[in-house]
Amino acid sequence: MSTHPVTLFTGQWADLPFEEVARLAASWGYDGLEIAASGDHLDLQRAEADPEYVQSRLDILDRHGLNVYAISNHLAGQAVCDDPIDFRHQAIVRPYVWGDGDGEGVRQRAADDMKRAARVARKLGVDTVVGFTGSSIWPYVAMFPPVPASVIDAGYEDFANRWNPILDVFDAEGVRFAHEVHPSEIAYDYWTSVRTLEAIRHREAFGFNWDPSHMMWQNIDPVGFIWDFQTRIYHVDCKDTRMRPQNGRAGVLGSHLAWGDPRRGWDFVSTGHGDVPWEDAFRALEAIGYTGPISIEWEDARMDRLHGAAQAVDYVRSLLWPQPAASFDAAFSNQ
């Protein structure tokens, strides 16, 4: 058997009670959950103040034979560096992070919540927090009207200034941050990932959540990313992307078309139904010695999530075969 626990990311299930998500995941054969700090799944502010609340999360997992291997605080992380802060953030962050909605105040409270996530992770016995960073320079991605290099430089400096104090808390707790390389973040592709690590002087508290779905439509090799950043792959999320360019009419930016619209050139789909080279990726993860969880993130506008999540765990397990105890050609030496 593979040593990788297969988990379900609860972010897309936050409308359901945590107990119900745990029950469903267990019934499908998952080993555990990547718990999102959303809905009633995990209230970080309450968890920090109330040991009984933390124990209640663990008790729910235990009742269903599950474990927790990572927690997610994607949504608060998004607000740490974003500029502007607006209605989009109000819709995703906790009220205690939003406060009065003043942009800099939201950023500061979001940073505090990321620090809180590290402390709560330790209380839960978890050593990885997955999430986003936000970015003050994402609005300039098209580089027109022209953007001076000094503005981009300042964006990476802003990231470092805001995240280094957060990472200090992660270090103090013995927890690592796994940033999901994703459009709208400070690291959204290969070279911005390189520059992000440079901005924080490659400190070990900061690594990556490998999610190939966002790399596919940007034409980034997700397997090559594993190899090149092999010492920084701190967590794995499995989400798939289906590439379907429509005779040159559909661009990579989505054309403001809704998810699932057949005119789109690509769409997120349930794991195993897209074009991610999963077998190559899992072989690469074994090659670099990744031993952490494989977390399934369900997103598919044309598939019911109950069907998708149940099917995905079996698909992933089919690729997590036992590794050989010896080289395949060792037998030749016995001739």
pLDDT of residue 183: 97
CA-CA distance, 55 to 57, in Å (whole number)? 5
pLDDT of residue 171: 98
Choose among 213, 236, 239, 241: nearest CA to 226: 236
Q: Does domain 6-324 have CATH number 3.40.50.300?
A: no
pLDDT of residue 1: 39
- 286, amino acid identity: E
pLDDT of residue 331: 65
pLDDT of residue 143: 97
CA-CA distance, 98 to 109, in Å (whole number)? 8
- 266's CB contacts (< 8 A; 6+ apart) are 216, 217, 241, 242, 243, 244, 245, 250, 252, 254
| Residue showing tokens 């992070």 | 97
> For the chain, which ranges sit under pLDDT 50?
1
The residues pairing with 8 across neighbouring beta strands, listed in sequence order, are 33, 296
The residues pairing with 242 across neighbouring beta strands, listed in sequence order, are 267
pLDDT of residue 323: 86
pLDDT, tens only, 186-237: 999 999 999 999 999 999 999 999 999 999 999 999 999 999 999 999 999 9
pLDDT of residue 326: 76
Q: Cβ(278)–Cβ(317) under 8 Å?
A: no
pLDDT of residue 56: 98
Choose among 136, 105, 292: nearest CA to 207: 292
Task: Work out whether strand 67-72 and strand 128-131 pair parallel, antiparallel, or are unpaired.
Answer: parallel
pLDDT of residue 247: 76
| Residue showing tokens 């320079």 | 137
pLDDT, tens only, 132-162: 999 999 999 999 999 999 999 999 999 999 9
Q: State the angle between helix axes of 278-287 and 305-319 in degrees (0 to 180), rounded to the nearest 10.
A: 50
Provide the residue ranges of all domains of the chain, joining segments of one domain with +: 6-324
